[in-house]
Amino acid sequence: MSLMHVLILGVIEGLTEFIPVSSTAQLLVGQSLLKIAPSESMTAFLVIIQLGPILALVVYFFEDFWAITKETLANLGGVREFATLPPNARMGWYIVIGTIPALVIGYFLRNVVEALFQRPLFEAAMRMLAAAALMTAAELFSRRSRNLSVLGRLDALIIGCFQVLAVFPGASRSGSTISGAMLRNFDRPTAARFSFFLSAPIMVAAGGYETYKVLKMPGLGHLIPAFALGFVVAGIVGWLSIKWLLAYLNKHSLYVFSAYCTIAAVICLAFTFLH
């Protein structure tokens, strides 16, 4: 893998991890176009560079995450009087409630998910088409009349169920959860913000687990410079993509991402059946 390959894949990962177009699918397409054959070292590289955007997410929302964590822990004894908890403490519990479905379903379906990687481009195409349909439905049927101040436990649970879709290869975590929040009639900026809050625990847990498996692989020491560069590039681009998406959704719809997913899915299907 050349320096140019490292830079390109790092940019793709950082750019698409949070923008609702599926980073997994885009990386698969990128590897195909760059003619990079699947290998153990490539798998390890993709796992490591994903940590860059995860760190970017934590850094970008650090003040929010710190306040949420601190107030949630400080008010554990008052959880039975949920309505009287401070807003950040309630948000902490909303994140917990919204995280449970993906953790449980992801655990029980882990073998099914691994099996889907036998035809990665085809499965990625199916997930992107589903994401496109979901984002279109969110735009068509959402009243977008609610904001973060009226988020409730049922909202968190339902939006968390949409995050389950991201367990499957090629699905967009942000696309699924933003659409789920919009279908609960939250406005786009609120949907995006809660989507980022909700994604943090799952991304940190999954990233830590995958990194643990990578560290057990022998003979990867010579790839540390490539890992480090890809990690930094993906992290910087990931931070910028978070900032851009939040600003974009203040004034624009999800239709452009829906259209992109549809076009990319058609290309993936064509590539699958013609090769």
Question: In Å, what is the CA distance from 117 to each residue of 120, 169, 275?
Answer: 5, 7, 17
Q: Is the pTM of this model over 0.85?
A: yes
pLDDT for the residue 169? 63
Domain total for the chain?
1
The percentage of the chain sitting over the pLDDT mark of 70, rounded to a whole number, equals 95
Q: How confident is the model at residue 270 (pLDDT cuts 50, 70, 90)?
A: confident
Q: How confident is the model at residue 241 (pLDDT cuts 50, 70, 90)?
A: very high
- Average pLDDT in the 47-70 region? 94
What contacts 42, CB < 8 A, 6 or more positions away? 1, 31, 36
Mean of all residue pLDDT scores within the chain: 88
Range of the domain at 245: 3-274
Q: Express each pLDDT in 191-215 by its tens digit.
A: 999 999 999 998 888 888 888 888 7
Reply yes or no on whether the pLDDT at 275 is more than 80. Answer: no
The percentage of the chain sitting over the pLDDT mark of 90, rounded to a whole number, equals 52
Reply yes or no on whether the pLDDT at 173 is more than 90. Answer: no
pLDDT for the residue 15? 92
